[in-house]
Amino acid sequence: MLDDVDRRIVEALSLDARISVKELAQAIGLSSPSTSERVKRLEERGIIRAFTIDLAPEALGYTLQAIVRVRPLPGKLHIVQQLIADIPEVVECDKVTGDDCFIARLYVRSIGQLDDILDRIADKAETNTAIVKSQPVKRRNPPLG
C-alpha cells in the first residue's frame, strides 16, 4: 500500500504541509526529483486528498464541543438529515447502524447556543447529547502500514 518512503513523506507532510520539496527530500533521505514524483503519485493515488490547514476551534470562540446522537421520528429521516446538514455548527455527521441514526459533532460558543440548535430538531427526532470534557486522543492518522 505505502512503502517506507511514502510513509515518511506522509508523516512529514502531516506535520508540516508547507515544507518545500527540497526540505522534504532531505528529511526522508531522497533526492528532490524522486520526492517530488512520490508526492505527486500519492495525490494521484488518492491517498493525499488535500493540502489544508488545521483550525483551532477555541481560538475561534468555540469553547464547547458536543456529540449528539440523533434518532429521527418515523418518517422524518430525510428531513432530519437535511436539517443537520444545514446547521453550520455541525462540523461532521455520520449516518450509522443501530438505534441512533446519526452522530453529529457540534462546535458551539455556549450552552445556550447548543440548546437553540437542538431545539430546531427537537420535534422531529430524539436526541442524546454528550458534552466533550477532554480529548484523550486528538485527531491523528491511522496506521499507515
Partner DNA sequence: AGTGAAAGATCCTTCTT
Partner DNA sequence: AAGAAGGATCTTTCACT
Residues lying near a second copy in the complex (CB under 8 A) are found at: 1-2, 10, 13-18, 45-62, 65, 67, 81, 84-85, 88-98, 100, 102-104, 107, 128-144
* Residue nearer to a second copy on the CB measure, 51 or 122: 51
Query: Which residues of this chain interact with DNA, rule CB under 7 A?
Result: 5, 20-23, 29-34, 36-38
First to last CA, the chain: 7
Partner touching 27 among DNA, a second copy, none, CB below 5 to 8 Å by kind: none
Minimal distance, residue 82 CB to a second copy, in Å: 9
C-alpha cell of residue 99: 438505534
Q: Which residues contact 125 (CB under 8 A, 6 or more apart)?
A: 70, 71, 72, 73, 76, 80
Partner touching 96 among a second copy, DNA, none, CB below 5 to 8 Å by kind: a second copy
Euclidean distance between CA atoms 115 and 104, whole angstroms:
15
Minimal distance, residue 37 CB to DNA, in Å: 6
Q: Which residues contact 10 (CB under 8 A, 6 or more apart)?
A: 2, 42, 47, 48, 141, 144
